Chains A and B, each alone.
Chain A
Amino acid sequence: MIKKYGVFDIIGPIMIGPSSSHTAGAAKLGKIARGIAGDEPRKVKFYLHGSFSKTYKGHGTDRALVAGILGMNPDDDRLRESLRIAKEKGMEISFSEKDLGDVHPNTVNIEMTMNDGHVVSVTGSSIGGGAVQISKIDEEDIQFSGNYPTLLISQRDVPGVVANITKLLYDAEVNIAYMSLFRSQRGKDATMIFELDQNIDEKILGELERVECVDHVRFVPLSSNIINYPISQK
């Protein structure tokens, strides 16, 4: 594979140290997980695998993950105080070591309990230089980078659903950068992932949800505008 780098991949990102993979990437993972959950969780359990579990304290991986959950970006000055901020908000946080199997050394499983009690589980890896990859949502194996606004659609695996969805996106003039389909078994549940060139609004999301055989629709905007985290000035 030909590697290609832009100038801002070389000089940048602006980030809170000390490590692009263990700190900046971890913050990004936390933020995407929160984006997938759709709201601020009440309780979060982080299961750390491999290098993440061995060195997370020294690299501030714990603070970075929680900062992401709170909606902070990897360059947010409050990142190092995220554990305190989460505590003040009454968010329950715990970290533990766990062998997540044959995955990248810097992998974390984030289990978020929401206000209504339902649990959202997201697994992702920090693959270097601050780049990340999400590999699992709840029990579904999927894959996306979070570098684009991402649309995740769970559906029943029947012919025609993909066509209906892409038609809807076409009509809304939404351009698709990458698209992939993951299914557990023929005819059973499947997840479609669209990485888009632009954000989409509530109206389109509603229309997508009404497409036949679509179970639910999640949308993760670009990480910098997932949420406006209110600054706590105590």
Chain B
Amino acid sequence: MNIKNGKELLKICKEQNITIGEFAIRQEMDESGMSFEEVYEKMLENLRVMEFSTSKGVNEKVISVSGLIGGDSFKLGKYLKSQKSVSGNIMVKAMGYALSCSEVNASMGKIVACPTAGACGILPAVMMTMKEEHGIEERDLIFGLFAAAGIGAIIAQNATISGAEGGCQAECGSAAAMASVAVVEMMGGTPEMCLNAGAIVFKNTLGLVCDPIGGLVEVPCAKRNAAGAVSALTVADMVLAGIASKIPFDDTVSAMYSIGKLMPEALRETGIGGLAGTKTGKRLKKEIFGDKETKSTNKMNDDTFDDSFKTSDSIDL
């Protein structure tokens, strides 16, 4: 994207009286040389995969290749039908959809990286929940996705969206900020309100480390996706109520980047520190990979992987 930061984005949106989504789609047309229909269609393809990855885990038990996670989205789906939820249908649905994407991802199913595979549940969960619970139409969903992508590009250009570089705050934090921006825009908020949403989400996710068990995109990633989706929706409510962020969006992005740089390597997707370094984290890793990671007698070395794997029981946590 040919734009420096959020401040410049706001200025352009104001001058031209356009939304962030409209700005992002125009930028993409300019840079790629594609027509409106072509970029729209390309984003629609992403939306269709999101529809698949959010629903699959709710409708059937999806178990990861390692067996470490799975079936949780299915549980939330059943729970939703019981109509007894504490936080309401929208939240339960969003969490279920986010978990579904993470489970599909970990079972080697099809997902859209947004912005990464590790954080692939947040934006799709929020978009599908908005579609179903607030009746957002396809065209508005597409523009919402463009708004989210535009914000994501600003984050990536000024900071990072990689867990190895900036921790989970850079992956799930960025994804939740993007999703919150999309929600505010789809609900008719101004570009300024959108950036407030992005800023508040970052403020609530700053410092989040990337500490996956065994280096796998499973624990705690799946549940952090659920938490990210919730954060995106609740922050959107704050902003739509008129609440602003004291710290502007661009500052929260640079704070996220500088915190990422200060993070020790053990907490940046190496599977060494944090949860991965706990007694349980190490035990689980051993159970999955065996004593020596390349030994051929353990579970992960079954190279005749097929559907029998999918139905195997997950490791008892």
- A: residues with CB less than 8 A from B are 2-20, 23-24, 51, 53-55, 57-60, 62-63, 75, 77, 79-81, 83-84, 97, 128-130
Docked complex Cα distance between A16 and B104 (Å): 9
Check B1–A15 contact: CB distance below 8 A: no
Which B11-50 residues have C-beta < 8 A from chain A? 24-25, 27-28, 31-32, 39, 42-43, 45-46, 49
CB-CB under 8 A for A5 and B153, given A17-B217, A58-B289 = yes
- Interface membership of chain B positions 50-77, coded 1 if the CB is closer than 8 angstroms to chain A and 0 otherwise: 0000000000000011100000000000
Contact partner of A15 (CB less than 8 A), chosen from B66, B111, B148, B149, is B111
Instruction: Give the Cβ gap from A18 to chain B, nearest Cβ, in Å.
Output: 4
Check B162–A12 contact: CB distance below 8 A: no
Check A54–B149 contact: CB distance below 8 A: no
Check A18–B305 contact: CB distance below 8 A: no
Instruction: Give the Cβ gap from B275 to chain A, nearest Cβ, in Å.
Output: 16
Check A81–B305 contact: CB distance below 8 A: yes
Docked complex Cα distance between A9 and B303 (Å): 32
User: Considering only CB atoms, which chain A residue lies closest to B270 in the complex?
Assistant: A51
Q: Which 8 A-B pairs have the closest CB atoms?
A: A17-B105, A10-B152, A7-B149, A57-B300, A80-B108, A5-B153, A18-B217, A10-B149
Instruction: Give the Cβ gap from A80 to chain B, nearest Cβ, in Å.
Output: 4
CB-CB under 8 A for A14 and B293, given A4-B157, A7-B149, A23-B117 = no
Q: Is B96 interfacial (CB-CB < 8 Å)?
A: no
Check A8–B28 contact: CB distance below 8 A: yes
Q: Is B294 interfacial (CB-CB < 8 Å)?
A: yes
CB-CB under 8 A for A83 and B66, given A7-B146, A11-B43 = no
Tally of chain B residues near chain A (CB < 8 A): 62
Residues of B within 8 A of A20 (CB): 113, 116-117
Instruction: Give the Cβ gap from A38 to chain B, nearest Cβ, in Å.
Output: 27
Residues of A within 8 A of B105 (CB): 17-18
Instruction: Give the Cβ gap from B232 to chain A, nearest Cβ, in Å.
Output: 15
Docked complex Cα distance between A23 and B294 (Å): 18
Residues of B within 8 A of A81 (CB): 305-306
Docked complex Cα distance between A51 and B300 (Å): 16
Check A24–B117 contact: CB distance below 8 A: yes
Q: Is B156 interfacial (CB-CB < 8 Å)?
A: yes
- Some 17 contacts from A to B, beta carbons below 8 A apart, are A3-B157, A6-B31, A7-B1, A7-B28, A8-B28, A10-B152, A11-B115, A12-B113, A13-B112, A14-B45, A17-B105, A54-B293, A57-B293, A58-B214, A75-B110, A84-B306, A128-B164
Docked complex Cα distance between A92 and B162 (Å): 35
Contact partner of B305 (CB less than 8 A), chosen from A8, A14, A63, is A63
Mostly, the A contact residues are mixed
CB-CB under 8 A for A15 and B110, given A6-B153, A57-B300 = yes
Instruction: Give the Cβ gap from A87 to chain B, nearest Cβ, in Å.
Output: 8
Check B117–A83 contact: CB distance below 8 A: no
Which B130-170 residues have C-beta < 8 A from chain A? 145-146, 148-150, 152-153, 156-157, 161-162, 164
Check A57–B114 contact: CB distance below 8 A: no
Check A23–B113 contact: CB distance below 8 A: no
User: Considering only CB atoms, which chain B residue lies closest to A15 in the complex?
Assistant: B113
Instruction: Give the Cβ gap from A200 to chain B, nearest Cβ, in Å.
Output: 20
Residues of A within 8 A of B49 (CB): 14
Instruction: Give the Cβ gap from B199 to chain A, nearest Cβ, in Å.
Output: 18
Contact partner of B106 (CB less than 8 A), chosen from A9, A17, A55, A63, is A17
Residues of B within 8 A of A59 (CB): 216-217
CB-CB under 8 A for A5 and B157, given A11-B148, A60-B65 = yes
User: Considering only CB atoms, which chain A residue lies closest to B301 in the complex?
Assistant: A57
Check A18–B216 contact: CB distance below 8 A: yes
Check A58–B31 contact: CB distance below 8 A: no
Docked complex Cα distance between A55 and B276 (Å): 14
Residues of A within 8 A of B156 (CB): 3, 5, 9-10
Residues of A within 8 A of B164 (CB): 128
Check A7–B215 contact: CB distance below 8 A: no
Check A18–B123 contact: CB distance below 8 A: no
Docked complex Cα distance between A20 and B217 (Å): 11
Check A58–B111 contact: CB distance below 8 A: no
Q: Is B83 interfacial (CB-CB < 8 Å)?
A: no
- Interface membership of chain B positions 238-252, coded 1 if the CB is closer than 8 angstroms to chain A and 0 otherwise: 000000000000000
CB-CB under 8 A for A128 and B162, given A7-B28, A83-B303 = yes
Residues of B within 8 A of A23 (CB): 108, 117
User: Considering only CB atoms, which chain A residue lies closest to B153 in the complex?
Assistant: A5
